[in-house]
Structure 1
Amino acid sequence: MNVQVIMRDGEPEYAVLPWAEYQTLLHAAGRPAPAAATEAASSAPAVPGRPTLACLAELREGKGLTQEQLARAVGISPHYLAMIEKGERQPDSAIRRALAWNLGVDGWGDDM
């Protein structure tokens, strides 16, 4: 099994593993595998008056936050936040909600 352990303050915080291995573990535990993340979040039409993830870096900078500060507040790595800001990754709804809450943006849940 190929697992990456992400540490914070010398303690393991997250375990990252390939999607296929995750699905195998879920199957072995008798749980249904969730659907893979899609690009739907990035292709969804913008809601008028609501900022999109394309504005994430501007919103963060407007709040006077560094990538590390926002990432730690949300519970993700600064590297992952940088990938979201560049459009290289699409965060799941829980991360979008945490970003919205920390930036004072309405929405960014499942309907984004």
Structure 2
Amino acid sequence: MVEVRGELDMATAPQLRDNLQRLIDAGDRQVVVDLAGVGFMDSSALGTLVVMFKALRDVDGRLCLAAVQPGVRRLLSITSVDRVIDIYEDVRGAEADMLSSDGVTGG
């Protein structure tokens, strides 16, 4: 799990990407990004999430988002990213779903 706080923008998106890439390089395949502490996200951060979603998908992994705040949720909805990346009300729900689908193909 990656917990993010503050604003996700062009200044902080590279740090998010580096943190997620480290998890992938370490072998993590089920990654939850906790956005409870994020009130603002710009297009560069949105792009970072999509790129890392694809990177995990390419290694049969999964990235999902949890505790997304209303402003960020609107951005995800407007851009239809919420149709691609699963969003959960909280980290517990995301982790539970990850565990229940771990090792399941086609789902």
Range of TM-score over shorter length: under 0.3
Work out which structure has the larger RCO, using CA pairs closer than 8 Å and 6 or more positions apart in sequence: 2
Higher strand share: 2
Calculate the TM-score normalised by the size of structure 2. Answer: 0.26
Calculate the TM-score normalised by the size of structure 1. Answer: 0.26
Larger Rg: 1
